[in-house]
Amino acid sequence: MSKYKFKFQSIANVKEILEKKILREISIINKEINNWKNERDIFIEERKKVLKDILKHKLKASDYQSIKKYDEQLRKEIVHIEKEIEACLKKKELKQKELLAKKKEIKALDILKENNYSNFLTGERKAELKILNEIAIVNYNKDRP
């Protein structure tokens, strides 16, 4: 019996490597999203603290104005971070679609491999049966006078 070799194995290997690469990229994007969210939470907490301080203390107009400018800067930074998070989520969605396509390609190659292996086994069985039939014929002819 000869050894089975899938003729598209190198293609399947490349597709699996690309799938792993996409998974790593999604992981990096997830980490980036988490970093942005953590940074946003820090700014939100700082903004809450600033607003609380405004309400607690009696402030001069100039102090109030500078704190309001600082609060506005924090708000702008939070908006910027939320835009970054949104952009990362879009990138992640695209990578997930790309990953789904790669998984479909790998699945198709796996099905093709299974079908080819089944055909290979069928061919091997036929060849083995043919050899056994020839042996039986030779043995039958030997036994006849």
Task: State pTM to two decimals.
Answer: 0.77
The answer to whether 109 and 12 have CB atoms below 8 angstroms apart is yes
CA distance 116 to 17: 22
The answer to whether 73 and 28 have CB atoms below 8 angstroms apart is no
CA distance 11 to 106: 9
Predicted confidence (pLDDT) per residue in 106-119, tens digit: 999 999 999 999 99
Helix, strand, coil % (nearest 5) of the chain? Answer: 90, 0, 10
Predicted confidence (pLDDT) per residue in 61-116, tens digit: 887 888 889 999 999 999 999 999 999 999 999 999 999 999 999 999 999 999 99
Predicted confidence (pLDDT) per residue in 10-45, tens digit: 999 999 999 999 999 999 999 999 999 999 999 999
Could you tell me the domains of the chain? 9-143 (1.10.287)
Give the pair of three-digit tokens for residue 53: 């301080």
